[in-house]
Structure formats: structure tokens, C-alpha cells
Amino acid sequence: MKIIIIGASAAGISAARTIKEVEPNTQVTVISRDDCVHSRCMLHHFLGHERDEAGISFVDGHFFADNHITWLKNTAVVGLNTAAKAVTTDDGQELFFDKLLIATGASYFVPPIPGLREATNVYGFRDLKDARLLDAECETAKNAVVIGAGLVGMDAASALLKRGLKVTVIEMMDHTLGLQLDEKSARPYQQHFAAHGADFLLSEKVVAVDLDETGRGVTIQLASGKSIPADVIVIAAGVRPSFDFLDKTGIATEKAILVGDDLQTNVADIYAAGDVTGLSGIWPNAMKQGRIAAINMLGERLLYNDRFAIKNTVNFYGLTTLSLGNINPQPEENFDVIVREDHSSYRKIIMKDGHISGVIIQGDIGGTGFLQHLIKQQIDLSGLDKDVCDLEYSDFYAVDPENGEYHYAV
Amino acid sequence: MKRIIIDREQCDGCLNCNVACISAHQEGSNFYTVNLGSADSQSRNFIKFDPKTGYTPIFCRHCDEPECVLSCMSGAMQKDPVSGHVSYDEAKCAACYMCVMNCPFGVLTPDRQTRTKVIRCDFCEDQPDGPSCVRACPKQAIEVKEVSR
């Protein structure tokens, strides 16, 4: 059997590895624009000069050779013929498959702000190509502006600070890391970043970017009337699933590629996994989707049911936070909010009717992995005679007598 | 694969397994010289006590489908196809702690001192006699068993 995988990030590599584990005789070809497998969650370590390109790879250097996988790097898929079961590449090759996995991820989005799309010194921070371009800019730039204080923006800011640039972060919300943190848990991060030289402009909006005669953005105009000088601009305002080549192929898409629980598209033998499916934008879920799609392409039928995707961890300057679910509930939602804090830790648990729907744990996050399971499985805690902040996995301890694996006694 | 199996009924909460684990990961120390007060003294196994249910031993399962490996974005954690154990390369780890978030059994924890690595069971792979917790248990409640995958 011949399987083609488009994309060499979490979902694509996880699928390739799984196929070779389960059916080593399968012919696997991975096609990627990237010339270097890398973890986008580590781009800031590359830009910050803490790691080189090999240091941000999540597979070893011989992965493709060792697993007998053909890798077409620096190659984009530009067309798909579902009837002939073939993809065409930007270098004119036509490659046939029995099964296809689309794991093309997402691309960063540049909002339609005057000057922003035109400026030649505006960069996303999505893949190694972006990080290389930013790296080159860092040689001469002094003032960096990061638009968007989500995880990607903060990653970029931390690296630019490490490179000695003056960094200004502009954010529409009133605090940083708005998807992960509440105002209180965001504050210590802002303090850490500020102590390292960052300026934050919160509840602010970019309205225009002024260009110089060479087309570079040199001044950021804000809704408040302020203006900020910029030598280099990072845009971190979110991403969009990336599937341009599917136009007129009959593969059903909305904002993302639509897949069933088996991760197959509406066209038989064509699967999708990772950010391109819009199911989740987070590494662990992309890995799991790649694995499940791979097993299904080999003829099994595994269902993807790990739909809980609002989760993340944050670690800047040694301050760690776990964030799960709905962490900024609206008053009209009538949640119970339980908070416990001391000088070095903060716990906030959002509940309703004995079920947890959101968690922020800042400080010591050791052993907190079970909380995700409590939310995912909607485990009823109302009968437990214990403060929810004191719960541990041991309160749900159960062991499989055959193989010694743990599960949940509920 | 080999898995550490604990007979919960036998456990009387003496924490010898904790001390042995800390000592095994503290260069040059033994049961008598191990410095439990130092910031890097973190056990990879846990005994939880509850007045109603007694002692609950929580030891890494090196799961058949390890969530920690799936969540590892640096490639530091790998499931060894031969031994079945989850290996961890501290140098590769970028301390993102998605593994801590994803371990359903709350076994994984960041290192307390530097927040640059994860504290996790390595099955004492470098020790000829196998896991130190097993050898340290005075009740013989902990053993290494071959289990099917």
C-alpha cells in the first residue's frame, strides 16, 4: 500500500511513525514545505539563540532514513485529483496514493489593517521560515513590536527580549495570554516580561502601520492616538487552517477540512489530521489525530473522541501555569468559582453542579494532569467529601488487575 | 513489557520507596547519605494518604498508550518499542509541561528547582538490579512483573 502524507509537523510525523510501527511494509511518502522537521512550540528557543535548527527538531536526524520513509522537502502540494488518486507538487511531480493524509496545519493570519499587509518587515511566528527571517532582522533591528499577546506573541516577545531588542507588545484584551489566563494569573507574567524590558500596551488596537519609502513599517498607529516606532513587526493574531490546494476537489471544507470521527474526509481514503481539521490547535491532540488517522488508513476503525482542546501550559521565566477549559466565565453563566492562593501559587476552579469546567493552576502544577480527565469525562464530584482544591488522582484510584494500568473509579 | 506492580493492601506508608527513588537520582548518594532537604530531592513515586482509604501508591505506569509521549513537542519522551518503557531525554526537553497537563494519573511533575525538566520514572534503567523502589520496600509490596501489551 502507498500512503502519502502532506505535512511534517505533529500530525504528519505521528502518522508516519505509527504506520511504520504497525505495517512496516507500507510505502510512505511525506511531502512538506519545511526543509527541516521542527516543533513550532520551540521556535522561540531558536530565535532566542538557545537552540539551533537540530535542537528544535522533535525527531532524530535519521528519522526518515531509519523508517524507510520518502521525504520530499521544500515541496508544496498544489493539486489533488481524487478520481485518479494523485497529488501534484509545485515542482511538477504527479504522485499516486492508495490513501492520503492531509496534515498541512495552519497559517498565520494578517488582519486587514492599513499598512500591515503591505509592510515588508511584518512576520508571523508560525514556522522555522518565519523564525529565520526574524533572526536575520534581529541583526540590525532595535525596536520590535509584537501584535497579539497570546502564547505565540509571548513566545516571540520572550525570544526578541533575549536578543536584546526593545519589545512592545500590543494586545486588544486587558491582559496577556487571554485564552489561557485570567487577569490575576496574567499579571505575574507581565511583571516578568516587563522586568526583562518589555512594554505592554493592553486594551489597545492597531489602526494603521506607516510605511517608509522602502515599504517597511516604521510606525504603529494605535486607536488611543499613541504611535510606536518599529524596526520589525511580529503579527500573532491567530491562525487559519491551510488547504488552498483543495479548491474544486470536492473535499468538504468550511473554515477547516471536515472530517468524521474516523478522521476521514467526505472522500473515501482521504484523511485529515492536526490543525487543518480545526478540531484542536494543540500539539497533543494533533499527535493523537495523526496516530488515529494512520491506524484507520491501515484498515482499522478507531474513533477520535478526545474533543477537549481548550487546554495549555505556560512556562515563562520559570513561572508555570496549567489552564483548562472555560477560565473566564461570564456572571450570567452562574458558575461557582473557587479560589485558593498564597504568595507563590494560585488555584482557580470553575464549577457547576459538581462538575469542573475550567481550571487555572499557577505555581506548582505537579501532579495536576488528572484535572483534565475530570473535565473531559465530566466526572461528578458532588458526592466527594473533599475540597476540590485538594483532589488528587488517588481519590479516583483504580488498577487493572491484569496489566497494572491505572484507570478511574467513578 | 515489565511494569512496576504494587500491592496496595501490603503498603504501610513507610515511604522507603520515596527515599530510595530520591537517592537513586541523587548522584553518589545512598540510603544513609541522601539529602532529603535539598531542593532537587523529588521522588518519582508517590504514596498518598487518606484517613478513609489508607495508602495509595502512585507509580508511573509507562502506559501502553502514553499520553505524555503524545504530548511531547520536543521529542524528549519516547515509548521504547522493545522495552515498552517511556524514555526521557532531559537535554531535549523544552519544559513546556504539556506532559504534566496530559498525564491522566497526575504522575508527572516539573522539577521544583529550575522548572527546566520533568521528574519522571526512568525504571532505574542504569541500575543493574532494577528499580530501586522495588528493592527498598520492606513489605515486598512492590515488584516488577511482566505484563502483556
CB contact under 8 A, B97 and A315: yes
- Domain covering B1-59+121-149: architecture: 2-Layer Sandwich (3.30)
Q: Does A287 touch chain B (CB under 8 A)?
A: yes
In a mutagenesis test of the A interface, which of B88, B96, B109, B147 is the best target, namely the one with the most A β-carbons within 10 Å?
B96
pLDDT per residue as tens, chain B (149 positions): 999 999 999 999 999 999 999 999 998 898 899 999 888 899 999 999 999 999 999 999 999 999 999 999 999 999 998 999 999 999 999 999 999 999 999 999 999 999 999 999 999 998 899 999 999 999 999 999 999 87
* pLDDT score recorded for residue A410: 84
d(CA B92, CA B96): 11
d(CA B134, CA B138): 9
pLDDT per residue as tens, chain A (410 positions): 999 999 999 999 999 999 999 999 999 999 999 999 999 999 999 999 999 999 999 999 999 999 999 999 999 999 999 999 999 999 999 999 999 999 999 999 999 999 999 999 999 999 999 999 999 999 999 999 999 999 999 999 999 999 999 999 999 999 999 999 999 999 999 999 999 999 999 999 999 999 999 999 999 999 999 999 999 999 999 999 999 999 999 999 999 999 999 999 999 999 999 999 999 999 999 999 999 999 999 999 999 998 899 999 999 999 999 999 999 999 898 999 999 999 889 999 999 999 999 999 999 999 999 999 999 999 999 988 899 999 999 999 999 999 999 999 98
Nearest CB to A315; choose among B75, B95, B145: B95
Angle between helices A151-162 and A183-195 (to 10 degrees): 20
d(CA B125, CA A38): 29
Question: What is the location of CATH 3.30.390.30 in chain A?
Answer: 318-408
- Domain covering A2-107+239-297: architecture: 3-Layer(bba) Sandwich (3.50)
**Cα distances (Å, whole numbers) of residue A156 to A41, A188, A232:** 11, 18, 12
**Cα distances (Å, whole numbers) of residue A197 to A162, A167, A191, A226:** 10, 7, 10, 19
CB contact under 8 A, B106 and A313: no
In a mutagenesis test of the B interface, which of A319, A345, A403 is the best target, namely the one with the most B β-carbons within 10 Å?
A403
- Amino acid at site A242: S
Nearest CB to A403; choose among B48, B106, B147: B147
For the purposes of burial, counting CB atoms within 10 Å of the CB of A309, is it exposed (0-12), middle (13-18) or buried (19 or more)?
middle
Question: What is the location of CATH 3.50.50.60 in chain A?
Answer: 2-107+239-297, 122-235
Judging by DSSP bridges, how do beta strands A166-170 and A198-201 pair with one another?
A: parallel
Q: Does B113 touch chain A (CB under 8 A)?
A: no
Closest C-alpha to A109, from A74, A169, A152: A152
How is A45-73 classified by DSSP, letter by letter?
Answer: HHHTTSS-TGGG-SS-TTHHHHTTEEEET
* pLDDT score recorded for residue B149: 78
Which is it for the CA torsion A163, A237, A328, A408, positive or negative?
Answer: negative
Q: Does B90 touch chain A (CB under 8 A)?
A: no
ipTM of predicted complex? 0.95
DSSP tag of A180: T
d(CA A178, CA A172): 10
Judging by DSSP bridges, how do beta strands A86-89 and A94-96 pair with one another?
A: antiparallel
The topology under which CATH files domain A122-235 is FAD/NAD(P)-binding domain (3.50.50)
How is A343-370 classified by DSSP, letter by letter?
Answer: TTEEEEEEEETTEEEEEEEES--TT-TH
Burial code (b: 16+ CB inside 10 Å, e: under 16) for A256-283 equals bbebeebbbbebeebbbbbbbbbbbbbb
List of long-range contacts for A212-218, beta carbons under 8 Å, 24+ apart: A214/A120, A215/A118, A215/A119, A215/A120, A216/A119, A216/A120, A216/A121, A217/A115, A217/A116, A217/A119, A217/A120, A217/A121, A217/A122
Helices (H) and strands (E) in chain A, counts: 8, 25
What is chain A's percent helix, strand, coil content, to nearest 5?
A: 25, 30, 45
CB contact under 8 A, A367 and B108: yes
Q: Which CATH class is domain A318-408?
A: alpha beta
Helices (H) and strands (E) in chain B, counts: 4, 8
